[in-house]
């Protein structure tokens, strides 16, 4: 939607899709009556997960990046968001009526008269389109073309929505997010067991792919007293940290998971930020020792493909893993050498860069030749254009947030064999979000 003539428009970067009209407030402002758009310098993943969804219609931050974990939490909650909009948003008076455009990365401030009427009408139209998409996705059943849709979420209470979402299961359980706000429990086997047991009971026969703790980057855990790092995204993160502290991080979590598997829960376990085959085999050996001691059934073990070294040497992994899952956010960050949380680089982070597409294609081609399935998760998988590109590159399963399932399902429904070939060609030869967005949108009529 075009900027309004009488409104002041702040240009940021799209974070999470959606359009909402509401007054703005900062965290320090008195709470208004009813729902509002939160403006802030930045939000942490913990801040975002704690937002009251009955009151927060969306948020706009001065800093941040479009693939940060804060945005990923917002995706999971279904909150429209704009990031890297500049400090000007912090000068808005509390109660100023605004329209937040998560698709265009814009905040239109000071709406009144016809502008307000038009913005409100646009919100109603979007809500109706979303409702029709949800109904169509549920009526149509599984996505065509052999692509499985699964989901991810932030709050455990969202698991109850799985049965009515059209998703086949939980494709990514980011376990560290279960402990936001109560990080002291992150080494407690009993706390892990309760969380996984309750989820397994809620989703029934649906499969849950559990990612072991990915601590570091923009997800610090003060309770662990970890040393400060100059660049935490390139530091002791994910499996590196787990293998350095197996007794209080990895083994208690694995024990909890295998106890749930022994009780009938359908689980897969994958390890994050793996760089070498040796890291995976060491983690798998620890997992097998835990499993044998508990006498639990075997569960598939896999790897998150996020580090370029893993992606480029994926032929060394396929003989050892049961499955692979490409984490598009971190893979993009590392391939483009652009921090996912740096607002100065927010417009430089292109998850559809030709180098990213070629890397995804290399992983899927190599894995499929070895009979290893490859899924993908991240903000790219949750967008209609991104999902079409990933499916065309050979991804057999997409993990998306609950609110994104209808739009992704619709895009995949329109992706026939000829369209796949056309999208794949453009992705591998030209690439780029602007080009592919225009190409895929026109080709599929999105």
Candidates 60, 69, 108, 192; catalytic one: 69
Pick 207 or 182 by higher pLDDT: 207
Pure H helices in 206-318: 239-244, 251-262, 277-294, 308-312
Q: What is the DSSP string of 63-86?
A: S--TTSHHHHHHHHHT--EEE---
Pick 66 or 209 by higher pLDDT: 209
User: Could you report the per-residue pLDDT of 104-126, keeping only the tens digit for each?
Assistant: 999 999 999 888 898 899 889 88
User: Could you report the per-residue pLDDT of 341-391, keeping only the tens digit for each?
Assistant: 888 888 889 999 999 999 999 999 999 999 999 999 988 998 999 999 999
Closest CA to 399 of 325, 298, 338, 332: 325
Question: What is the CB neighbour count within 10 angstroms for residue 279?
Answer: 20
Q: What is the pLDDT of residue 389?
A: 98
What fold, for 129-444?
A: TIM Barrel (3.20.20)
Helix, strand or coil for residue 431?
coil
pLDDT band at 6 (very low <50, low <70, confident <90, very high): confident
Cite the beta strand spans of 141-298 per DSSP E. Answer: 148-152, 169-174, 207-211, 267-271
pLDDT band at 140 (very low <50, low <70, confident <90, very high): low
Q: Is 60 a catalytic residue?
A: no
Q: What is the pLDDT of residue 142?
A: 66
Domain ranges for the chain, please list them.
8-111, 129-444
Burial class (CB in 10 A: 0-12, 13-18, 19+), 93: exposed
Pick 404 or 184 by higher pLDDT: 404
Tokens of 309: 């070294």
pLDDT greater than 60 at residue 2: no
- Average pLDDT estimate for 98-104: 93
Pure H helices in 321-353: 328-336
CA distance 273 to 168: 25
Q: What is the pLDDT of residue 247?
A: 95
Q: What is the pLDDT of residue 154?
A: 73
User: Could you report the per-residue pLDDT of 302-325, keeping only the tens digit for each?
Assistant: 999 999 999 999 999 999 999 999
pLDDT band at 128 (very low <50, low <70, confident <90, very high): confident
Q: Quick check: 310 and 275 in contact, CB under 8 A?
A: yes
Q: Quick check: 216 and 237 in contact, CB under 8 A?
A: yes
pTM of the predicted model as reported, rounded to 2 decimal places: 0.88
pLDDT greater than 90 at residue 177: no
Residue position matching structure tokens 């580090």: 307
Q: Is 98 a catalytic residue?
A: no
Q: What is the pLDDT of residue 402?
A: 86
DSSP bridge pairs for 444: none
Q: What is the pLDDT of residue 441?
A: 96
- Average pLDDT estimate for 398-412: 90
Dihedral angle sign, alpha carbons of residues 245, 248, 249, 251: positive
Pure H helices in 50-188: 69-77, 113-140
Q: What is the pLDDT of residue 396?
A: 94
User: Could you report the per-residue pLDDT of 204-262, keeping only the tens digit for each?
Assistant: 999 999 999 998 766 777 778 788 887 878 889 999 999 999 999 999 999 999 999 99
User: Could you report the per-residue pLDDT of 36-63, keeping only the tens digit for each?
Assistant: 999 999 998 888 988 888 899 999 999 9
Q: What is the pLDDT of residue 399?
A: 95
Pick 1 or 4 by higher pLDDT: 4
Q: Quick check: 330 and 340 in contact, CB under 8 A?
A: yes
Candidates 98, 377, 409, 439; catalytic one: 377
Q: What is the pLDDT of residue 138?
A: 66
Distances (CA, A) of 207 to 174, 203, 304, 306: 14, 8, 17, 22
Q: What is the pLDDT of residue 137?
A: 67
Domain 8-111, second-level architecture: 3-Layer(bba) Sandwich (3.50)
Tokens of 196: 């996984």
């Amino acid at each position: 939607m075009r900027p309004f003539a009488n409104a002041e428009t702040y240009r940021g970067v799209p974070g999470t899709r959606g359009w909402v009209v509401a007054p703005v407030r900062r965290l320090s402002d008195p709470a208004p009556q009813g729902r509002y758009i939160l403006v802030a310098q930045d939000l942490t993943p913990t801040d975002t997960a704690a937002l009251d969804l009955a009151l927060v219609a969306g948020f706009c931050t001065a800093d941040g990046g479009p693939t940060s974990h804060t945005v990923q939490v917002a995706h999971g909650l279904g909150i429209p968001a704009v990031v890297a909009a500049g400090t000007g948003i912090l000068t808005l008076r509390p109660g100023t009526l605004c329209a937040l455009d998560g698709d265009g990365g814009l905040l239109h401030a000071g709406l009144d008269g016809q502008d307000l009427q038009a913005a409100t009408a646009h919100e109603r139209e979007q809500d109706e389109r979303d409702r029709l998409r949800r109904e169509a996705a549920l009526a149509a059943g599984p996505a065509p073309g052999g692509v499985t849709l699964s989901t991810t979420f932030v709050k455990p209470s969202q698991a109850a929505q799985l049965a009515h979402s059209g998703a086949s299961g939980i494709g990514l359980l980011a376990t560290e997010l279960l402990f936001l706000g109560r990080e002291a429990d992150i080494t407690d086997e009993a706390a892990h067991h309760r969380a996984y047991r309750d989820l397994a009971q809620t989703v029934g026969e649906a499969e849950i792919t559990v990612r072991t703790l990915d601590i570091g980057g923009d997800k610090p855990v003060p309770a662990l007293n970890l040393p400060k790092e100059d660049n935490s995204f390139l530091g002791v993160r994910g499996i590196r940290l787990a293998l350095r502290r197996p007794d209080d991080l990895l083994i208690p979590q694995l024990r909890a998971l295998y106890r749930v598997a022994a009780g009938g829960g359908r689980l897969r376990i994958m390890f994050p930020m793996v760089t070498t085959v040796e890291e995976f085999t060491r983690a798998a050996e620890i997992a097998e020792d835990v499993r044998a001691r508990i006498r639990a059934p075997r569960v598939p073990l896999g790897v998150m493909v996020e580090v370029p070294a893993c992606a480029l040497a994926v032929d060394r992994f396929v003989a050892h893993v049961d499955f692979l899952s490409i984490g598009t956010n971190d893979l993009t960050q590392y391939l483009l050498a652009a921090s996912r949380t740096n607002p100065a680089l927010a417009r430089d982070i292109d998850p559809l860069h030709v180098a990213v597409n070629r890397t995804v294609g290399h992983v899927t081609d190599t894995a499929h030749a070895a009979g290893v399935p490859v899924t993908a998760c991240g903000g790219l998988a949750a967008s209609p254009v991104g999902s079409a590109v990933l499916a065309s590159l050979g991804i057999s399963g997409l993990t998306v947030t609950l609110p994104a399932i209808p739009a992704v399902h619709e895009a995949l429904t329109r992706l026939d064999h000829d369209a796949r070939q056309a999208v794949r060609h453009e992705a591998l030869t030209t690439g780029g979000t602007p080009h592919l967005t225009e190409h895929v949108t026109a080709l599929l009529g999105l």
